[in-house]
Amino acid sequence: MRISVIGCGYLGAVHAACMAKLGHDVIGVDVDAAKIDALSVGRAPFYEPGLPELLKEGVASGRLRFTTDLADVAGAEVHFVCVGTPQRQGEYAADMRYVDAAVEGLLPHLSVGDVVVGKSTVPVGTAARIADRLATEAPGTTLAWNPEFLREGFAVKDTLHPDRLVYGVPQGDQGEHARTQLDVIYADPLAQHTPRIVTDYATAELVKVAANSFLATKISFINAMAELCEETGADVTQLADAIGHDDRIGRKFLNAGLGFGGGCLPKDIRAFMARAGELGADQAVAFLKEIDAINERRRVRMVDLTRQVADGSITGKRIAVLGAAFKPNSDDVRDSPALDVAAQLARQGADVVVTDPEAVENARRVHPELNVTTSWEEAVEGAEIVLLLTEWQVYRELDPEELGARVAGKRILDGRNVLDPVQWRAAGWVYRALGRP
Ligand code: UDX
């Protein structure tokens, strides 16, 4: 199938490379010339395991091309819209300008029979609005909504082997045509018995935000339990293990700690609240406000705990922060809890050095005032307190004896509950964590 992918960020670049891997002829489009230059020579503009290999393979095969010129999409039969829907400045609602611009730009290049497939996370009702527009301005074309559930760090695997496919399509022949085209595109995952749900636009749009709301709720639930553990001396990690054995609950996404961040969960639950408000259904998702608040409180708690461990004052204290990315195996610092805590500590007068294996450049761009280094050895040199805030494997494997020889004070705060307190305390460290005695 000849397909185009509009928007080559985390979602689009991975989608384009994976579609070429599935044997399709793909043209990726983005307005950012530097990004297109990198992708065209098989270089990933961000850190994503497995992506550079796929890009190189696709580009070498001739089946994967990139351009800044939207006119180059002519000839493709299916057009995936993969642009971002960030949170609007100073508001909860999603900024739809990139989606609208992508559709606007596509219009002159569409032919009868083409299918436009929305993958961006959008407020419910967007697909119906775009479908109306296509009906008048590009008659004979069809819109489908096919939400994406990929996790950063596992994006290639999640795209090639998704746990479900959701198609939001219109009724009748047009819907049938869109379904058939998507079935051809996803022939490989479908042959591996990936469940496929064919539904209407609104359901497809809601599936995505409902899934992210549920995941955010799971994390904030266990973090709320962590708050109670802190008051009672209980251990949230054991609590999670114990309730997680009930397979109606499940242990996944019950890791208590500094909470969720990234380009999706925080802004998606906020956009969901904003959209529900517009629909007069704000009560239905009012609980998300609390989910967001619990999540934000974890960052404040981490700063307070640091102050406590610093004997009441962090002013001038050398603090090493391990981790800047919002989660391991990513260089993404959007709404990163780790970077947020580092910035708050620095603002409050601490002498902070942040380290991350991949996110240093992005961290410097967002917080130029912070001292950031790729070398954890450099970051911990002379530190009076060490904070583990993003659970990269290299930090999980740190040896308490070796680290002890490098720091000025053996005090560690485990913001992700990934270290063994017994081992660290035995090596002479003061060990503190969120939700653990
Ligand atoms: C998420 C969804 O998982 C994905 O399906 C959707 O398409 C986009 O949003 P992603 O943002 O890549 O993906 O990260 P994810 O692995 O879900 O983690 C989100 C955040 O939650 C991270 O900050 C992570 O550290 C945090 N988290 C996750 C916890 O604090 N505890 C957990 O148990 C799990």
Span from the CA of 73 to the centroid of ligand 1 (angstroms): 33
Q: Which residues lie closer than 8 Å to 322 by C-beta, 6 or more apart?
A: 355, 356, 376, 379, 380, 386, 387, 388, 389, 390, 392, 395
Span from the CA of 199 to the centroid of ligand 1 (angstroms): 26
Distance, in Å, from the CA atom of 230 to the CA atom of 255, rounded to the nearest integer, reads 15
Span from the CA of 27 to the centroid of ligand 1 (angstroms): 29
Mutate to test the pocket of ligand 1, among 156, 327, 434 (most ligand atoms within 8 A of CB): 327
pLDDT value at position 235? 98
- Ligand 1, atom 26, lies closest to the CA of 260
pLDDT value at position 79? 98
Q: Among this protein's residues, is 229 annotated catalytic?
A: no
48-82 core/surface letters (b: 16 or more CB in 10 A; e: else) = bebbeebbbebbeeebbbbbeebebbeebbbbbbb
CB 345 near ligand 1, within 6 Å: no
pTM beyond 0.75: the answer is yes
Cα-Cα end-to-end distance for the chain: 57
Spatial strand order of the sheet with 115-118 comes to 64-67, 25-29, 2-6, 78-81, 115-118, 142-145, 165-168, 196-199
Show the domains of the chain with their CATH numbers: 2-199 (3.40.50.720), 293-433 (3.40.50.720)
Q: Which residues lie closer than 8 Å to 418 by C-beta, 6 or more apart?
A: 388, 391, 395, 396
pLDDT value at position 184? 98
Per-residue pLDDT of the chain (437 residues; tens, 9 = 90+): 999 999 999 999 999 999 999 999 999 999 999 999 999 999 999 999 999 999 999 999 999 999 999 999 999 999 999 999 999 999 999 999 999 999 999 999 999 999 999 999 999 999 999 999 999 999 999 999 999 999 999 999 999 999 999 999 999 999 999 999 999 999 999 999 999 999 999 999 999 999 999 999 999 999 999 999 999 999 999 999 999 999 999 999 999 999 999 999 999 999 999 999 999 999 999 999 999 999 999 999 999 999 999 999 999 999 999 999 999 999 999 999 999 999 999 999 999 999 999 999 999 999 999 999 999 999 999 999 999 999 999 999 999 999 999 999 999 999 999 999 999 999 999 999 999 99
Mutate to test the pocket of ligand 1, among 159, 260, 414, 434 (most ligand atoms within 8 A of CB): 260
pLDDT value at position 219? 98
Dihedral over alpha carbons 69, 71, 73, 76 (to 10 degrees): -170
pLDDT value at position 150? 96
- The alpha-carbon radius of gyration of the chain (Å, integer) is 23
